[in-house]
Amino acid sequence: MPVSEALRHLAEDPGFWMGAAAEPDSPELRTTFPVTGGYSLILDLDPATGERTLGLRVPAHSEPVQLGWAPAAGPYPAALRWWELDLFARVIALDDPTLPHPGLVVALLSPFAPPTPDDDESSIAAIRTAAYRSLRRDVPPPAPCGPEQTPLPLFASDDWWPSPPAASPQVLDETAIAELIRPPDRFSEVRVGKRFPREDLADLVRRSAALLADVPRRSWYAQTRPLARRILDAGDLAPIPALLGALTEAGCDHPTVLDALSEPLVPLEAYWMVETLAGAEPGTLLRRRL
When pLDDT is cut at 50, 70 and 90, the band that residue 140 belongs to is: confident
**Contact at 8 Å (CB) between 62 and 50?**
no
pLDDT per position as a tens digit, 213-237: 999 998 889 999 999 999 999 999 9
pLDDT score of 37: 96
Burial class (CB within 10 angstroms; exposed 0-12, middle 13-18, buried 19+) of 168: exposed
Is the confidence at residue 264, as pLDDT, over 90? yes
Q: How far is CA 132 from CA 33, 149, 214, in A?
A: 18, 44, 29
In whole angstroms, what is the distance from residue 256 CA to residue 276 CA?
Answer: 12
Q: Which amino acid is at 178?
A: A
For residue 75, is the peptide bond before it cis, meaning its omega torsion is within 30 degrees of 0?
A: yes
When pLDDT is cut at 50, 70 and 90, the band that residue 21 belongs to is: confident
pLDDT per position as a tens digit, 208-218: 999 999 999 98
Q: Return the sign of the alpha-carbon dihedral for residues 140, 145, 148, 153.
A: negative
In whole angstroms, what is the distance from residue 20 CA to residue 27 CA?
Answer: 16
Is the confidence at residue 34, as pLDDT, over 70? yes
Domain-wise residue ranges, the chain: 1-214, 218-289
> What is the percent of the chain with per-residue pLDDT over 90, rounded to a whole number?
76
When pLDDT is cut at 50, 70 and 90, the band that residue 38 belongs to is: very high
Is the confidence at residue 68, as pLDDT, over 80? yes
**Average pLDDT of the chain?**
91
Q: What is the largest CA-CA distance in the chain?
A: 80
Q: Return the sign of the alpha-carbon dihedral for residues 8, 10, 13, 18.
A: negative
